[in-house]
Structure 1
């Protein structure tokens, strides 16, 4: 799990590195086929009964998790977890090298009510429900924030001149720097991009992803003199709260993604 996540965040170099195609991947989590992003974290199984095929159509391997309740729920803990999982997906997508793609409506948690094969539904199942934009305004604003972050940090979009910080262009880390583990049981991964952005000094971007159900204490690589780590995003929070990290150690909460910038 950790290996697959790290390699995809790094632009799938294991697939596209030949012929200088390091940033050729198109990255997406959901598309027109399958669950919407909200449904990915709201349903364990497909619910295609309205399609008229006794729920036999559509894929069964959705890699989804309902966060504790199947479908719509009034449970505030389940709802909070679902929103965090959507923020996690957005943060990882927007911090991955390559070309990001997301399904229209995912930015405000549009739902198809668990239908993963809605090609035959020209109704509220397949339509975009714009009323959810008001209900999930925090998610919409988080998408805006991460898109803006991606546009202002070329490091996460493409290769830049490396070596400026004394770090490799891309590196993988565990809870200790330079000790990344790709073991099957591993549920934490840190990916760091480093380089010299045009017209600016050395920069680093560190993406931390904790898929554990418990918090973890993490150490970041020590930056060269004159540079310090800043927090750019923490999906545990409903809204981004960027600011100084105050060192190279931090605690990442359960099932959370954090993004740090060194400059």
Structure 2
């Protein structure tokens, strides 16, 4: 009897890990912010089962976290070759299209998802946003953007990237500032309009704060509907400390912008 239990234990120890278990663990890693470990498990699982829909959906979501949008799109499209109306794949592609301001394409994908699963709250909410709730991007003003002095903002040294923009996508301040700062301001303004529309649709009032988690860093956003401030930190910073920095810089930002209007 003891010998039999020993053989069973050895057999259990040698039993190969299933792809289901890999993807389940990868999901836990992803939800805990352990994205690199999640990617490793997903890649291993897809090597064992190249047509696994769950694996490709997870791969797509992880590529989106790392801002590898072309690769994320390819994963979701791969799923649709296996199941042409897979709702999570359609939702993933719709989110990418929405972020790229292809609202008509996003709406088409969301309607396909809802045609398969009418009770799909995420798809219904996004469809309402891309079809009715998000205003068109305002035209840029003819007046130049205000000049903001970085020393008056008191940007924390821990901030990897600081951005101030108007809701019409006008870049006010960027640190560091580079050739793509204007593009980043445009993208931030677009995401702000989308998020604001979702918050209003949920009955939560106006959007004032947002936290955007990425694979290696987290961005904290503060807005009054006209101006937007974002600070990006490494993931090792405490949320309370990041929010304290955000509120201090936001107060200084408002003071700077108000003084120039006056």
TM-score, normalised to structure 2's length? 0.31
With CA pairs under 8 Å and 6+ residues apart, which has the higher RCO, 1 or 2? 1
More strand by share: 1
TM-score, normalised to structure 1's length? 0.31
Q: In terms of Rg, which structure is larger? A: 2
More helix by share: 2
